[in-house]
Amino acid sequence: MHFKLIVALTEDSITDKVVEAARNHGATGSTVIPSARGEGMKAAKTFFGLGFEAQRDMILLLVEEHMCRDILENIATTGEFETNPGAGIAFSIDVDDAVGVAHQVSRLSEMVEEEI
């Protein structure tokens, strides 16, 4: 079985919706890292030298490669990444190997067989 890692950076207010969308489309788990900082095309706003930026969360999803695109598209739709500038960004990375997922492989195998 081959995996991909989806990394999504979202406003903290929509993290739960994005994780739920991923689960509804085949993700079997997630890791959320709160308090991520970043900057897009526009520089972060400041107020008397203090940063004024929205809280961001980093969501990590290890998913089966055949399900990756569907999950990616659905979290982008749910998070309004394309229609709401600054709402978030998501991308996938190939994973060479993974351990600790044996308990999920049987469930994922069934799901992938249904898809194919």
Q: Which residues contact 92 (CB under 8 A, 6 or more apart)?
A: 4, 5, 6, 7, 68, 72
Q: What is the pLDDT of residue 82?
A: 93
d(CA 6, CA 67): 11
Q: What is the mean pLDDT of residues 86-94?
A: 93
Half-sphere exposure at residue 21, Cβ-oriented, CA atoms within 13 angstroms: 20
Q: What is the mean pLDDT of residues 78-88?
A: 90
At 37-79, the pLDDT tens digits run: 766 666 556 656 565 566 789 999 999 998 999 999 999 999 9
pTM for the model stands at 0.80
Per domain, the residue ranges of the chain are: 3-38+52-115
Q: What is the DSSP string of 55-101?
A: -EEEEEEEEEHHHHHHHHHHHHHHHTTTTSTTSEEEEEEEES---S-
- Give percent above pLDDT 90 in the chain: 51
How does DSSP classify residue 44? Answer: P
- Please name the fold of domain 3-38+52-115: Alpha-Beta Plaits (3.30.70)
Residue 98 clears pLDDT 80, i.e. is over it: yes
Average per-residue pLDDT for the chain? 84
Pairing of strands 31-36, 45-47: unpaired
